[in-house]
Structure formats: C-alpha cells, structure tokens
Amino acid sequence: AQLLIPRRATDPPVVFHWLPFIGSAIAYGNDPLNFFFEAQKKYGDVFTFILLGRRVTVALGPKGNNFILGGKSTVFNAEDAYTHLTTPVFGKEVVYDVPNEVFMEQKRFVKVGLSAENLKAYVGMIEEEIEEFLARDPAFKVFQKGDPNEWGSFETVKVMQEITILTASRTLQGKEVRSGMDKSFAERYNDLDNGFTPINFMFPNLPLPSYRRRDRAQAQMSKFYVDIIKKRRAGHDDHEHDMIAALMQQKYRNGRTLNDREIAHIMIALLMAGQHTSSATGSWALLHLAANPKVADAVYQEQVKHFQGPDGRMRSMTYEELRELPVLDSVIRETLRMHPPIHSIMRYVRDDVPVPATLSAPSKDGIYVVPKGHYVMASPAVSQVDPTVWKDASVWDPSRWNDTDGVAAQAFKMYTDESGEKIDYGFGAVSKGTESPYQPFGAGRHRCIGEQFAYLQLGTLISTIIRHLELKIEKVPEHNYHTMITMPLPPRDIQYKRRTKA
Ligand code: HEM
C-alpha cells in the first residue's frame, strides 16, 4: 500500500532497484552496513529505499542520528513501527502496545528496579553463577580436569547465551525464575524467541506453525510470571532486590498500581531485550580477546593488580570497583562500537517532516520532506565505524578509549555527559546524546535503560572468564545480519586453557 503514496518533488532520493515490491530488501538484508555505505556514496546522508513494499527513509551520520532519535514521538513513532513484532512476544498492555506516555512511565518503573543499590547486590551473584557454570558445563571439561597445559574449546555464542540467561534470571528476574528454569522454560523461551525474527517483522500474519508456537509460548510464559506474582502477593517472602519486587511497588501518575499482567509482560520484555543484546556483545568481546592475547593479558593484569591477595587468590569485586577498571571498560566500549547488537532503529512517520538543511543538501525545490507514511531508519552502527570520524575505524583497538583528547573520548562525553544538556522524558533525565557518533544504546526518549546492567553483566563475565582462562582463536568471525541482533557467524569456537592449577 505504501508504494501507492505519490512521489513528490521534495521526496528524498530513492535507492535504485530492479524489482518494484522487493526493492533493496536483499542488499539491505544481507549486509545493511555495506548497503548504507554504498547508498551514502551515491545519494548522501538522506535517502529512501524500498523494503518489501515499505518506503524507508534513512538518515545517516551524527546529524542523521539526531534527526531521527531526537525526533518527537508524535511524528517519528516507535510503537507504530514495532508493535506488530513485539506485542505477540511480550504480551499486551506494555511497551509498544500502549501509547508512548504510558510506556515512558513503565520505563521509569523499570529504572527503579535497576537502581545502583540493586546493581550492587548483583556482582557477586553473577560471578558465582559463572563460576558454577564453568565448574559444571561439559564445554569446560578441560578446565574442570585442572591441567593447565591442555587446551579445550567452547562454542562462544551457545555458552554466552546460557550464561546470559542464567545471570539475568539470578539477578533481575528473581529466584523463582532462576529455579523455574527447567527444560520447559527453555522450550517456551525458544518458541518466543523464534517469534522475534526479521520474518516476523516483515510478515506479521503468516499462517506458520512457528507463529502458533510463539502465541502459545507467550500465554504460558505470561501465566508463569503471573503465578509468581500472585504467590508473592499472598506471602511475605523477602525479595527486595529483584525487578518483580520493584514493579509491584510502583504507581502510575494517576495513582494506579500495575496489574499482574502488566508486570508479567514487562518481565518478558526485559528478558527478551537483555538476552541477545548482552550475549552477542559478550561473544564479540571474548572473540576479540581470544584474537588479541595482549589485550586479554592487560585485562588479566588489571584484575591481578586490584583483586589478587597475598595468597595468590583473586577476591570478588564490588560494583564500585568494577566501574573503575579502565582496561575492562575500554574492551566493552570498543566491542559495542564495532558490533552494536542493533544495526537499524526504526520509526513510523505519522506526519510530513522537513529534513534540516544542515543534514542534507536541499533538493531543487528547496528542502527534502520525509512524507507521512514512510518509515525512518537510524543506524548509529554506521557512524560508529565511519572512517571519516574514527581513525582505523575497522580495527578493534580498545586503547583508543584511553586517549582523553581523542575522538572516542569526545564521542563518549557527548553520549553520556552528566553536566551537558539533558532531557527528561519522564523516566529520569538522560544526557541528550542524540548527536554523538557513538550510540550503541540508542539515544533520546527510547534510549536503553539496561545500559548499566549490561555493563555490570558484561564486566563481571569478562573478568571472571579472563581470571580463569587463556583464550585463543585464529580470526574473529564475520557478522551475521540475518538475525534480529547482529551475531558472529560460525565457526566461532574459542580455544581455552586453564590459567592456574585447580
Ligand atoms: C532500548 C541496545 C541491553 C532494555 C534500546 C535501544 C538500543 C538498545 C539500541 C534503542 C532502541 C530504539 O530506539 O528503538 C542495547 C544493548 C544492550 C541492551 C546494546 C546490551 C549490550 C538491555 C538490557 C535491558 C534493556 C539488559 C533490560 C534489562 C531496554 C529497554 C529499551 C531499550 C526497556 C527501551 C525501548 C524504547 O524506549 O523504545 N536498547 N540494550 N536493554 N533497551 Fe536495551
């Protein structure tokens, strides 16, 4: 239907394509970054491409990021772009199933559950969960045997996915979820997850068995959480540090507390939002550390310096200590620069929007206007590897973050500056950051609220693995863009050796 929108002289240029409905779907789907860079060369920072009948207007570069991510939700709307994908998975009454003002209140509730006080309690739990995993999982048999001269190997993504769900459920999700993580939980989770793919996004209503399995899994998962909440409401158990506890105490501005379904569905949304993003980032980080033993050694030495006692044993970190480890921090930042899990951020255009002349050279009729009915797309992933912004943009080099006058430090400051301009969207003031070339967690009103949790989870993961293991790999794999979240392509096995005797 979108193709019926008449073309106007002020429309942005359209990327050339042979097939009318399909448009650029294949080139975009196989390698969106390459597609964006090629189109940018021909058409500049603002252009439209056809994606299976949808008209998608892309705005690139820091100014493009600002145009889209700093846009008003009344014109560049997220729920219109995402709800058909997310509501069948998360459930009703939350996130993109409700008007933006309501979701912003829900983000505020989640922020309470992610308070520094809660995060402090999580470091030790995450560390313990990973150490137990290393001591039990068959992939780490060689580690368990204790001979520091023997090499073993693990499938990076598989291991990271398991560790991510274990650590998130132990902390945020709460003890009932952690102890309820049996085979049937895993199956339900997989069925839900299989409903969260680019196919589901492009074709929301296919009569496929996977869609039916998704819907059944959503109902079961919803009931699983509702039962936990009901039990908690009936009892007096003490769960002060988890998200369900925080959500049970919150009230909307009109004084209403959250009902059981809303809490359940927010919990499912958080499970899904944190799972692939964190496990992909953890995978890329370990793959690069395995390929760069010098950096891995620097991470290890940083651990030794701060946490090794006179008996040679390493002690646990506190949350405050974890936040003060520059080498570890630079590894996470650099990994997120080169491999941001989300390559495309979309909004639906509810009204005509003129493109600022500073962003794109004006058309012969004055300016470009993004027409109502298009989608807009931002890709901070492009500005994060733009060779005109970053020196050696395609080299994974964590040390770039330690140069306090360098581009990386400036970009980071723009993204996070506490003293700079801030906006309060209702879930707590956030740094504006919409014009930074570095935005792995998005920017503006839809900016991620899981950032601190993700840093904590990833920081503890990397430290714990590097404390115990030496890693190696021939080369870091290429990107797989066919999944919702950008993943490393197989083969992606890392070889490991125990650092010290058992
Ligand atoms: C939003 C990235 C982890 C919850 C976002 C967005 C990005 C992002 C790019 C913006 C999406 C948009 O504008 O359309 C990441 C990355 C993560 C991560 C790179 C880890 C490395 C998490 C975790 C949670 C979470 C652990 C939950 C505990 C959310 C929520 C939003 C969000 C609630 C808001 C969506 C909106 O307002 O529309 N994230 N995320 N994320 N993320 Fe994350």
Q: Is 266 annotated as a binding residue?
A: no
Cβ of 211 closer than 6 Å to ligand 1, yes or no, is: no
Using DSSP's 3-state secondary structure scheme, residue 98 falls into coil
Q: Write down the pLDDT at residue 361.
A: 67
pTM: 0.96
Is residue 17 within 8 Å of 49, Cβ to Cβ? yes
SS (H, E, C) 364-418: CCCCCEECCCCEEEECHHHHHCCCCCCCCCCCCCHHHHHCCCCHHHHHHHHHHCC
Q: Write down the pLDDT at residue 199.
A: 95
- How far is residue 363 CA from its own chain's centroid? 36
Cβ of 330 closer than 6 Å to ligand 1, yes or no, is: no
Nearest CA to ligand 1 atom 29: 448
Q: Write down the pLDDT at residue 369.
A: 94
In this prediction, does ipTM exceed 0.85? Answer: yes
Q: Write down the pLDDT at residue 109.
A: 97
| Identity of residue 215 | D
Contacts of 61 (CB under 8 A, 6+ apart): 45, 359, 382, 383, 386, 437
Cβ of 273 closer than 6 Å to ligand 1, yes or no, is: yes
272 Cα to the center of ligand 1, angstroms? 10
Q: Write down the pLDDT at residue 2.
A: 60
Q: Write down the pLDDT at residue 253.
A: 96
Rounded Cα distance between 397 and 294, Å, is: 11
The residue whose two tokens read 């506890």 is 245
Cβ of 442 closer than 6 Å to ligand 1, yes or no, is: yes
**CB count in 10 Å sphere of residue 253:** 10
Please give the full DSSP string across 99-128, using - where no structure is assigned. Answer: -HHHHHHHHHHHHHHT-HHHHHHHHHHHHH
Contacts of 27 (CB under 8 A, 6+ apart): 34, 35, 38
Q: Write down the pLDDT at residue 274.
A: 95
Pocket test for ligand 1, best of 344, 448, 486 (most atoms within 8 A of CB): 448
- Give me the tens of pLDDT residue by residue for the chain, a chain 502 residues long: 566 667 888 999 999 999 999 999 999 999 999 999 999 999 999 999 999 999 999 999 999 999 999 999 999 999 999 999 999 999 999 999 999 999 999 999 999 999 999 999 999 999 999 999 999 999 999 999 999 999 999 999 999 999 999 999 999 999 899 999 888 899 999 999 999 999 999 999 999 999 999 999 999 999 999 999 999 999 866 666 799 999 999 999 999 999 999 999 999 999 999 999 999 999 999 999 999 999 999 999 999 999 999 998 999 999 999 999 999 999 999 999 999 999 999 999 999 999 998 887 665 656 899 999 999 999 999 999 999 999 999 999 999 999 999 999 999 999 998 777 888 888 888 888 899 999 999 999 999 999 999 999 999 999 999 999 999 999 999 999 999 999 999 999 999 999 975 5
Nearest CA to ligand 1 atom 28: 450
Both tokens of residue 261? 């379904």
Pocket test for ligand 1, best of 79, 100, 277 (most atoms within 8 A of CB): 277
Both tokens of residue 489? 């392509």
Nearest CA to ligand 1 atom 26: 274
DSSP tag of 96: G
Rounded Cα distance between 120 and 241, Å, is: 10
Q: Write down the pLDDT at residue 362.
A: 62
Q: Write down the pLDDT at residue 477.
A: 98
CA 103 to ligand 1: nearest atom: 37
CA 345 to ligand 1: nearest atom: 14
